[in-house]
Structure formats: C-alpha cells, structure tokens
Chains A and B, each alone.
Chain A
Amino acid sequence: MLLEYRGVVSLVQMAVYSALCFLLWIPLSTALPYLEDQVAYNLNTNQAAKNPLEYDGSWENHVYNPSPDNWRMPFYTVTLDRFVNGDPTNDEANGTHWEHDPTSNQFRFGGDIRGLQNTLDYIQGMGVKVCDFPAFPCLRDNSRAHTRDTNFV
C-alpha cells in the first residue's frame, strides 16, 4: 500500500519526513497482506510479498499484443464508470446502498468493463482503433484530489 501523507501540510515537512525515513532506514511503503477475498481483483500473485517491490503477476497463456509503430489513429477516451453498466451486481461492490446513482452526473453511475466489451460493436463501428482509459481503474481514495463525492459518504 502506498504511503499516504495525510496531515502533512507543507512540502518542507514532507521533505524532512522523507529524509528522516531514508536516514533511519524506515521503509516508506509496505505491502498489503494477500487476502483470499481479493484474489479476483489482485494483480499481484506473490503471496509472500512484504514490500511492493516484491509484487509480481502475469497473465498465463497470454500472447503479447505488440503496440503499433504509429499511434496516429482514432482514440476513444472511455470514462469507464460513465459508459455502460454491463454487470449490475458490482454497482454496490463495497456492500452499501449508496455507491451509485444512475440519475446523477455527480456520483458513480455503474459502468464497468463488461459494459464496454458489450458495446465494442458501437465503438468499432465509429472507426475507433484505440480505447483509452484516462485513469487506471484501481482501488482509490477520493479524500485528496477529488472531494465532491464525500457528500455522499
């Protein structure tokens, strides 16, 4: 898990803290334990990892698809949550009743990767060659950069 600099109010304090950690050999980050209920979401498959540098993972029986030499082709930027809800069972995946609102443009809609896959005919039909995800869809924190959703927590 990446270290969160909560409560650190200035860059100077952050620099001093980092320097102290470096001098005292305090690791700046530690690994989350490997949990059974997260296996389907966990890109790391090294169960013994003590440090994020030991994380490892691979896609078995996957043939690598090489990138093109020239990326000048039609892109389609997919804000995944706003797109198509292909699997309603994961709309409230954290186990509460307040994780999506299809009628709001200020809150989670419910779109997911299965919805995108179901809609590839439409995307490809427009001549699109690249699906671009503007932010990596990993477990995330909204308390720092984007605070608007905290009204709903």
Chain B
Amino acid sequence: MPWASDGYSPLDLTLLDYHHGVIEDWRAAITEIHRRGMYIVLDNTMST
C-alpha cells in the first residue's frame, strides 16, 4: 500500500503521490524555483 512518506519503495514511477499535490502544483513550484534562478534535482529510486 502506498503509505510511506519518504519516497522510497515506489509502486509506480508514473503516478505522483496523492499526498504531495497534483501535477499542476508541481509545475507551479518548479516554475517558481526556476524563476528565482534556482534549480531542482529529483532522484529516481528505482529499486529500493
């Protein structure tokens, strides 16, 4: 069951965790980070 909060043990790498917001929230945040001249790094945890 998708309960853990830490981002490991992915069930599906194409579906976002419901608890962290929808795609539009992510796009808004990423856009704002870039607007501030900052960058964003996402780990892919394939086999944990």
Contacts and interface: CB of A to CB of B under 8 A. Distances in A.
Contacts of A72: none
Interface of A is mostly: loop
A63 B12 CA distance: 27
Contacts of B12: 1-2, 32, 138-139
Interface in B17-47: 17-29, 32-34, 36-45
Q: For the side of the interface on B, what is the size category?
A: 35 or more
Contact of B21 (A59, A90, A136, A149): A90
Nearest to B48: A145
A137 interface: yes
Contacts of A90: 18-21
19 contacts: A32-B15, A41-B16, A41-B23, A87-B25, A90-B20, A94-B3, A94-B19, A110-B19, A129-B37, A133-B42, A134-B43, A136-B44, A138-B16, A139-B18, A140-B8, A140-B17, A144-B9, A146-B8, A149-B3
